[in-house]
Structure 1
């Protein structure tokens, strides 16, 4: 069986990456239940990207979007929220637009550290927990208590989570290097790259479930 890595490049405060992750999860589940699953094993891997590396530690989400994305126009902001809600609801996502924003460096640091030390399954659960906390509960994306709670949800002991989250130097050099590497090739997220025997296929933007399925099947066909 061919072992293929599916690299998902994201920022934990980008709603399009959350929706793309939901769709990709559905596509992977559909592929794994098909006869083609006997030819390829797909492992999901996460690559970090910061939409705004210079973002401050904390900001009010509603106010930040109003000022920086919608030019102070409350009507435009309401239209945006309604549009995003309509896209998210079929995926089982109950979007909230209030709460706090913040720099995501340490969220990426923690994800990358545990992806390396605990493996892809733990990283997958950690990403899901961070998405839900930020987008559906309005929690800050990288406060210590939020990161610790997400780690525990992912099956990491509270003691280890507190140690890694609390010591800001653990994994910091590594994640900064990875962010620099990723930013050389990526200027928007989400990006999904599926590795194949003959070629890799890269999809940019939040694609529909069937497009992800077709890509997984294409790589499988080319890898037999």
Structure 2
């Protein structure tokens, strides 16, 4: 399809930097689609804390790691993106099952809204995104049919997230990309793909 941008995003739904970057991406994507663009999106999974103990206070964990200034900075960055972070209610989680849900959603063309809902569930609603019953509820809410046979697309070539790749080019640090930069990458990727299609004739 012409006017199509190919995008790979590697993320984890308990990573606040992934949430900020994904929020900016979704706004850029909405602009691109409003102008007639199409996005071929792949969500690749990576865990910040594989095997994490679930149910612990995200606020206490963040204070221990980043201090009060660090938490305040993250709060301010989120507010600038229109995200009402709720560290006081958020709890830690092993995200293996959440990534499995993203894979199920991807197989049904719903990876983007499902990922967005998982971020909101963890960071805003204080939901336990490592709990299967919670995830089944979120799946039903988003219109995703539960299908445990689907395999997760784990990223084995990164050491941190978020990571963006456009048109399978070298990886970019998603946390450093503004909404305008993301929109520019979508437009550039689309233009390159159209040139390639034209050159094949």
Decide which structure has greater helix share: 1
C-alpha distance in 2, partners of 1:33/1:112? 26
Residue 139 of structure 1 is matched in structure 2 by 127
Mapping 1:24-173, distance limit 5 Å: 24-34=25-35, 37=36, 41-67=38-64, 69-70=65-66, 76=67, 78-98=68-88, 99-116=90-107, 118-119=108-109, 122-156=110-144, 160-161=145-146, 164=147, 170-171=148-149
CA shift, 1:85, in A, is 1.4
How many corresponding residue pairs?
A: 191
Structure 1, gaps ≥5 residues long: 71-75, 165-169
C-alpha distance in 2, partners of 1:84/1:47? 24
| Greater RCO, CA 8 A, separation 6+ | 2
C-alpha distance in 1, partners of 2:139/2:8? 21
CA shift, 1:137, in A, is 1.3
CA shift, 1:61, in A, is 1.8
Residue 182 of structure 2 is matched in structure 1 by 212
Residue 164 of structure 2 is matched in structure 1 by 192
Q: Secondary structure at the match of 1:6?
A: strand
Q: Secondary structure at the match of 2:100?
A: helix
TM-score (norm 1): 0.76
Q: Secondary structure at the match of 1:100?
A: coil
Q: Is the 8 A contact 2:5 2:193 kept in 1?
A: no
C-alpha distance in 1, partners of 2:40/2:51? 32
> In structure 2, do the counterparts of structure 1 residues 213 and 14 end up closer, same or farther at CA, with 3 Å as the change threshold?
same
Structure 2, gaps ≥5 residues long: 195-201
CA shift, 1:27, in A, is 1.0
1:99-139 Cα distance to aligned partner (Å, 9 max, x none) = 311110011112112312x12xx222211111111101111
Residue 18 of structure 2 is matched in structure 1 by 17
Residue 73 of structure 1 is matched in structure 2 by none
Q: Is the 8 A contact 1:109 1:171 kept in 2?
A: no
C-alpha distance in 2, partners of 1:32/1:45? 16
CA shift, 1:191, in A, is 0.9
C-alpha distance in 1, partners of 2:149/2:62? 31
